[in-house]
Amino acid sequence: MPQLPFQLVDVFGEAPFSGNPLAVIALPADRDTAELQAITRWLNLSETAFLLPPTSPEADYRVRIFTLDRELPFAGHPTLGSAHAWLALGGTPYHADKVMQQCGAGLIPVRQGRDGLAFAAPSLIRSGPVSQGDLEEACQVLGIAPADVIAAEWIDNGPGWLGIQLRDAAAVLAVEPARAHSARIDLGLVGLHPAGSAYAYEVRAIFSDPYGGLIEDSVTGSLNASVAQWILRKGCITAPFTATQGARLGRSGRIRIDQDIDGTIWVGGKTVTLFSGMTGEAMV
């Protein structure tokens, strides 16, 4: 039996090995969730994506996205990485100007442009003010005082993000979060770069691993999508602009944000396959 195509895609990096890696495996048919979760845990990347034939007539492909402990309805860097991998495998979109991805969150358009791929930011599934208790819990995890927080909102488009805006990018980079927390938590930090900078703001993503520890993601598409929706609504900046993420991890993530006249926000960045091949016989 034929083995399965496998790619490791660097997403959002300005140069190779500077973004967020994604494993993408193309499957001819769906498989048991427990098996896909086990593969993801073994690969031990933040996320692994499994390409599948679409079940919607409007979609070019379907993708299932897994973290080390759960399946997500949507995630940003797996969306760009999956579209990149599907195109690299010879996929031909139904529409000349976009790829249509099917995932747990529905249909996500991914457009191809001069600067790479960009996905349309999905609607939030949870928004609005944060309770005092949730804010105090977040501040305890981050090692900051509630008075350090400029603004806080739920900006959850799937993973569960609680958005925290700090004074500026330097304050975001200075945060030293706890290494463990007793309950699951997903925090997105944002702080504006100085006026005149080439970049709009700095982003950091701090969230729970499957074992009670807290980890930081190098570049996070879903969080950047919801942060852009939040910051643009607040009127802090206008699109187009570029955000940065990953500096504390030695990465140079660059996330390009644009906005159409109808309000649609596009989240884009570079994608490149750094390793590719075929899976072993155990995957067949």
Instruction: Give the pLDDT confidence of 70-118 residue by residue, as tens digits.
Output: 999 999 999 999 999 999 999 999 988 899 999 999 999 999 987 899 9
**pTM to 2 decimal places:** 0.94
Token pair, residue 122, equals 């999905």
What is the pLDDT, as a whole number, of residue 158?
87
The mean pLDDT value for 42-63 works out to 97
For residue 283, pLDDT over 80 is answered with: no
For residue 69, pLDDT over 70 is answered with: yes
What is the pLDDT, as a whole number, of residue 4?
94
CATH of domain 126-262: 3.10.310.10
pLDDT in tens, 151-184: 999 999 988 999 999 999 999 999 999 999 999 9
For residues 72 and 69, what is the distance between their CA atoms, to the nearest angstrom? Answer: 10
Domain ranges of the chain: 5-121+269-283, 126-262
Check: CB of residue 265 under 8 Å from CB of residue 257.
yes
Length of the chain (residues)? 284
Please report which residue ranges of the chain form alpha helices under DSSP H.
33-43, 76-88, 132-142, 169-174, 221-234
The answer to whether the 5-121+269-283 and 126-262 domains have the same CATH topology is yes
What is the pLDDT, as a whole number, of residue 115?
80
For residue 284, pLDDT over 70 is answered with: no
The mean pLDDT value for 232-239 works out to 94
Give Cα separations from 120 to 17, 172, 200, 250, 267 (angstroms).
25, 26, 19, 28, 6
CATH of domain 5-121+269-283: 3.10.310.10
Closest CA to 267 of 209, 198, 200, 193: 200
